[in-house]
Chain A
Amino acid sequence: GQQVMQIPQYQHVQEGEDFTTYCNSSTTLSNIQWYKQRPGGHPVFLIQLVKSGEVKKQKRLTFQFGEAKKNSSLHITATQTTDVGTYFCADPNTGGFKTIFGAGTRLFVKA
């Protein structure tokens, strides 16, 4: 079935370093969503991208949707310990009324 692939699976960074996670689809996506799950917590919806080439920012987080709408990225500038968690991309359309989640990228930040 349709999947969205995320890389890397894990990322260890020193506090202050940048971090990027990538999401790829074999088919064209209508929209792409991003969620964050803190350790021991539940996923929280961050943002949805809709347009080809769209770039949105939330403080130190920058979200991009590829021109072909087959890939997306989340970039965090100058990571902080509060950024620790798992970041999931999600396809809300292809699954027929159900969102398909990527496997997630788990971010570890060393102070």
Chain B
Amino acid sequence: NAGVTQTPKFRILKIGQSMTLQCTQDMNHNYMYWYRQDPGMGLKLIYYSVGAGITDKGEVPNGYNVSRSTTEDFPLRLELAAPSQTSVYFCASSKIQVQIYGYTFGSGTRLTVV
């Protein structure tokens, strides 16, 4: 059971470039999330999804887009990368009963925009 898999683990982008951070889970979880963690800070929610075809903005969505065409996959797209998007990005998923099980997190993607 792989859990939540994120790729790549590290990436350096130049300003203005675009990329997609991949996230896939094999636990048949309904809910999926993207958070960013800036150095020395907590996690801030970018986007979330409650099921295939349904996505919604979190606290810091500007500069990002998501899609959820299947239950398993929840990619995060960065268009026109900016230095302010330098961060560690975490994908997470949860069952509906998150109050019991919490989130399952991926291992993160460290992104640097130069």
Please say whether chains A and B are actual partners in one complex: no
